[in-house]
Structure 1
Amino acid sequence: MSSAALPSLLDDLASLFRPDQLVTDPDVMESLAHDDAEWAPWVLPAVVVRAGSAADVQAVVRAAIRHGVPVVPRGSGTGLSGGANAVAGSIVIDLSRMNEIKIIDPTERLAVVGPGVINDDLRAAVAEQGLWYPPDPASSPWSSIGGNVATNAGGVCCVKYGVTRDYVLALEVVTGRGEIVRIGTQTAKGVAGYDLTSLLVGSEGTLGIVTEITVRLRRARPVEHTVVGYFDSITDAGLAVTRLAESGVVPSALELVDRKCLEAVDAWKNMGLSADANVILLGRTDAPGQAGAQEASAMVAAFEAGGATWSAQTDDPAEGDALFAARRLSYPALERLGPVLTEDICLPLRQVPAMLARIEAIAAEHETTIANIAHVGDGNLHPLLITPIGDEAARQRAQAAFADIIAGCLELGGTVTGEHGVGLLKLDGLAAELDPVVQRMQADVKAALDPYGILNPGKAIVSVPPRD
């Protein structure tokens, strides 16, 4: 946007919104102009609008159409792919004020919420009525349901219970034409036309801006059994994952945390986990009654078959939660050491040991520190590339390692992102993964639903040349 055009846009928005809803202070805008993705490009937007309703979002989109400027929706900013990063001349729509839990219906087992509702707040609210909302990304204390929908977030429980898309029944959306529409149903079944709801989930705000979400709930679960296994090597832990898959047991959680993560957590929280293990596997089962104990024993056996140096199980919730706290603390603990570039690859379970070995080799080749955490039960690996602050050579090596990890993942039949989304960081990987015909199909969908090209441009899909 030219400097001459900016006053016209600001005047238009000032006629539509209260002063407290418009942000033009550069310091405040800077905090709202990007997510947590390391090294993903961003610029200051032209303005930030703090939306309080679907009508507010509609007014912004219609203003953006009039002025020909991009719109970038933002939730809590906890994303790790650059999907919420502002582009030149854009309007950032801050949806965090749209945080009302509107309905919790125990009979239909659903909830209706605004996009700014925090994941853990929803989980706590439905738990009071004996219900459970399963998707639980590691950022659940801070991430919003709208952001979870944008990236189709997963988390610890998704190995057994699925990802966000599996729980979204209906959406209210502002379209790229500035219309407010409702898609999906609140019924258990529904095949009336194309499944636009599922299409919007994971689209990172490029096909519409979500202003209300209806989510499916489950009954509260039995108390979980927790299993822990210590391993000398990351490949041994990967083998144990394969052995568990072969056993037929589907855990309610299966997480991997390596020594670099454990040492970072210990240095921060003094939990003492790094003293005896190079790699830890954390498993859980929520099967009821005696079946839970049997599944926990089967997990222990699989860990031992994979080469565990020590393993144990507990049905004490406090002990189990303490162990899983190390998993959730790993990323913020590593951030204390320097910039962290986060991978999000996902592979077939049989390829997990091979990919973990490749990551170790890539780290050595590029002289880059790579820590590993993973939702390893469903093959979703999160190599974390750590660089010293201000070390440009280390940054370049880390980015080269990042590209090699993606290439290795694709070679082994994986995908470039399991739950963080493509955003900006995975565009090259997406181009390598998708057939050119599929890239064109996605571009056609984008053009149909965003005819003015204003919705979060440059994110989530590969740019393809226009047809002749």
Structure 2
Amino acid sequence: MSDLKHQLKERLLTARSAVSSFENDASRAVFTGSALAVVLAESASDVSVALAWANSRNIPVSIRGAGTGLVGGATAFDSGLIVSLERMNAIIEISPGDRLATVQPGVITADLDEEAQAHGLFFPPDPASARTCTVGGNIATNAGGLRCVAHGVTSDWVAALTVVLADGRILRTGARTRKNVVGYDLTRLFVGSEGTLGVIVEAVVRLESLPVGTPVTFWAEFDELAAAGAAVTRIVGSQTKPEVLELMDALTVRAIEEAFPSGMRIPRGALLVGQTVGRDAAETAQAILELCRAHGATAAAVAVDDALVEARRMSNPALTARGLKIACDVGVPVSRLAQMFTGVAALAERHALEVASVAHAGDGNLHCKVAAPDTPAGIAAADMLIDDITRLALSLEGTITGEHGIGQVKHHELPWQLDEVAIDVQRSIKLALDPRGTLSPGRAV
């Protein structure tokens, strides 16, 4: 390792006390062993040197941004190298004329959004963890978020990438133009690849103009989750266009209010929280509230500010603090949302376990969390329920993950959704770009 130390100097950490703090992410994946070292990369050159060194020695590499991932994608490998991108956190350029931003991967998502807003623009991808997660991590998992119902997922906003390949070569994909059909769409190939094909060291992302007027936040209470799901289906299928449409069950709302009091009323079944923007924001919000009332809402109104949306962002830490730690992020077609909620409730009763459900309701992405004793038996029981919830989503023409990715936590579920041909094609791509299998081996695909 002396040769790597010579090239990276103080940017290579080898002391056990320093390395250990980089070995885990926010997931329930359990790391055993010890990593060799951490590269605190500050440039594409640093990443290139690190990957070339590891590749030549068949040393596994884990890629780490902010460590907020929930599927074990950034967990270290025993005797492996950790490449940390947290120091690569520069917003290189905001180009208002082109509505583009050029950023390094360690930029915090909310910081990019704030900088863009100073130019009358915004960055549409908006994960609940936007104040802690990074743009690079969002791209690596193709993250969604609260504004997905109106603006889609991260891949819809990535124009070009600079990627370091497993052998240290640097690849540039995409273009700054609106149209570009030259060659294969390598940009989209790397979006969502979870660090298995290369390391993103720079991204050109698209920005959108800030909507005019004041956003309007609204809420609706339902006695039954199924009724709330049916209301969401009707809203999404109507002419209304909410910017945000989030659904929380009673347990989630109670957990948020206990941990981060915000004044939310705890419903019997579910609370739908949304936001509209633009010149007709108030009229759109009222039209959505009428749809909610027509589909069983027991109470519905416009809120005085956006505190409810901010409270929704705290659901994950609130539920974790309450002991609901085992999670999944399945997705179903919006038309099957009511069936999904009914099915989750039935599964929770069958397993005799407490389940909290939060949904990016407008796009059918559910985050279910199960309460489990912190014992091997308790975690195993919760994992069995999570597996059943995942199978339920698939039976409703859904997906095993909407935005968190596969990582190592969900790797066993991969063949539940993909057939042998699909898996073979994806692994062939992995083999072509990383023939020695040093980048995040055994994860994603």
RMSD between superposed Cα atoms in Å: 1.4
2:293 aligned with 1:296 = no
Q: Residue 364 of structure 2 is aligned with which of 349, 354, 379?
A: 379
Q: What are the ranges of 5 or more consecutive residues in structure 1 without an aligned counterpart? A: 1-9, 462-468
User: Is 1:363 aligned to residue 353 of structure 2?
Assistant: no
Amino acid in the other structure paired with 2:237: E
**What is the CA deviation profile of residues 337-361 of structure 1, one whole-angstrom value per residue up to 9, with x for unaligned ones?**
2251221101101111111111111
Which letter maps to 2:217?
A: T
Checking the alignment, whether the CA contact within 8 Å between 1:407 and 1:429 is kept in structure 2 is no
Greater mean alpha carbon deviation, residues 295-304 or residues 184-193: 295-304
Measured in 2, the distance between the counterparts of 1:16 and 1:51 equals 12
How do 1:220-235 residues align onto structure 2 when only pairs under 5 Å count?
220-222=210-212, 223-235=214-226
1:85 matched to which residue of 2? 75
CA distance in 2, matches of 1:451, 1:16: 25
**1:186-225 superposed matches below 5 A:** 186-222=176-212, 223-225=214-216
Deviations 1:369-417 (A, max 9, x none): 11111101100000111223x3333212101001101111111100011
1:405 aligns with 2:389: yes
| Contact kept? 1:34, 1:42, Cα under 8 Å | no
What does 1:130-141 align with in structure 2 at a 5 Å threshold? Answer: 130-141=120-131
Asked if the contact 1:258/1:373 (under 8 Å) is kept, the reply is yes
SS in 2 for 1:189: coil
Q: Distance in 1 between matches of 2:14 and 2:372?
A: 33
CA offset digits 1:411-444 (Å, max 9, x no partner): 1100011111111122122211001101100011
Q: Within 5 Å, give how 1:108-187 maps onto structure 2.
A: 108-187=98-177
| Contact 1:176/1:208, CA 8 A, preserved across alignment | yes
String of CA shifts for 1:122-151, please: whole Å, max 9, x gaps. Answer: 111111111110101011000011101100
Question: What residue is the counterpart of 2:251 in the other structure?
Answer: 260
Shift of 1:40: 5.0
> Structure 2: how far apart are the matches of 1:345 and 1:40?
22
1:26 to 1:369, Cα distance in 2 relative to 1, 3 A: farther
Q: In structure 2, the residue corresponding to 1:36 is in which secondary structure?
A: coil
Q: Does 1:343 align with 2:328?
A: yes
Whole-angstrom distance in 2 between the partners of 1:188 and 1:77 = 32
Contact 2:140 2:194 in 1 (8 A): yes
Q: 1:274 to 1:300 in 2, by over 3 A?
A: closer
% identical equivalent positions = 41
Q: Name the CA distance, whole Å, in 2 between partners of 1:338 and 1:312.
A: 32
Provide closer, same or farther for how the CA distance between residues 62 and 259 of structure 1 changes in structure 2, counting only shifts above 3 A.
same
Match for residue 245 of structure 1? 236
Which residue of the other structure, out of 419, 424, 427, is the alignment partner of 2:403?
A: 419
Q: Quick check: 1:149–1:201 contact (8 Å CA) kept in 2?
A: yes
- Note if contact 2:222-2:267 (Cα within 8 Å) is conserved in structure 1: no
Assess if the C-alpha contact under 8 Å between 2:329 and 2:365 holds in 1: yes
Which stretch has the larger CA shift, 218-227 or 269-278? 269-278
Measured against aligned partners, the alpha-carbon deviations of 1:62-83 in whole angstroms (never above 9, x if no partner) come to 1012211011111000011111
The residue type paired with residue 32 of structure 1 is F
> In the alignment, which residue of structure 2 is the partner of 1:306?
295
* Normalised TM-score (structure 2): 0.97
Measure how far apart 1:333 and its partner are.
1.0
SS in 1 for 2:301: strand
User: Which residue in the other structure is 2:273 paired with?
Assistant: 282
Is this contact kept in 1: 2:23–2:31, CA < 8 A? Answer: no
SS at match of 1:16: helix
- Is the 8 Å Cα contact of residues 207 and 446 (structure 1) preserved in structure 2? yes
Closer, same or farther in 2 for the Cα pair 1:27/1:257, shift >3 Å? farther
Describe the SS at the equivalent of 1:187.
Answer: coil
Alpha carbons 1:258, 1:279 under 8 Å: kept: yes
Structure 1 stretch displaced more, 267-276 or 207-216: 267-276
Q: For 1:366, give the aligned amino acid.
A: H
Tell me if the contact between 2:223 and 2:267 (Cα under 8 Å) persists in the aligned partners.
Answer: no
**In structure 1, what is the Cα distance between the partners aligned to 2:34 and 2:403?**
26
* Residue of structure 2 equivalent to 1:6: none
Alignment of 1:452-467 (within 5 A): 452-461=436-445
Q: Within 5 A, what are the aligned runs for 1:7-86? A: 10-19=1-10, 21-41=11-31, 43-86=33-76
State the TM-score, normalizing by the size of structure 1.
Answer: 0.92
- What SS does structure 2 have at the residue aligned with 1:108? coil
Offset of 1:24 from its aligned partner?
Answer: 2.4
Q: Please tell me whether residue 438 in structure 1 is matched to residue 422 in structure 2.
A: yes
Q: What is the SS of the residue equivalent to 2:311?
A: helix
Equivalent position SS for 1:445: helix
- Give the secondary-structure state (helix, strand or coil) at the position aligned to 1:374: strand
> Do the aligned residues in 1 keep the contact of 2:219 with 2:301 (CA within 8 Å)?
yes
Measured in 2, the distance between the counterparts of 1:450 and 1:305 equals 54
Which runs of no fewer than 5 residues in structure 2 stay unpaired?
Answer: none
Q: Deviations over 1:42-63 (max 9, x none)?
A: 5431111100100000000110
Q: d(CA) in 1 for partners of 2:326 and 2:263?
A: 26
Q: Give the SS at the match of 1:59.
A: helix
Kept in 2, the 8 Å contact 1:241–1:376? The answer is yes
Matched with 1:464 is none
Q: Quick one: which amino acid aligns to residue 268 of structure 1?
A: A
- Is the CA contact 2:147–2:244 (under 8 Å) kept in the aligned structure 1? yes
Q: 1:4 maps to which residue?
A: none
Amino acid at match of 1:255: E
The whole-number CA distance in structure 1 between the counterparts of 2:326 and 2:15 is 29
Give the partner amino acid of 1:304.
R
Asked if 1:327 corresponds to 2:312, the answer is yes
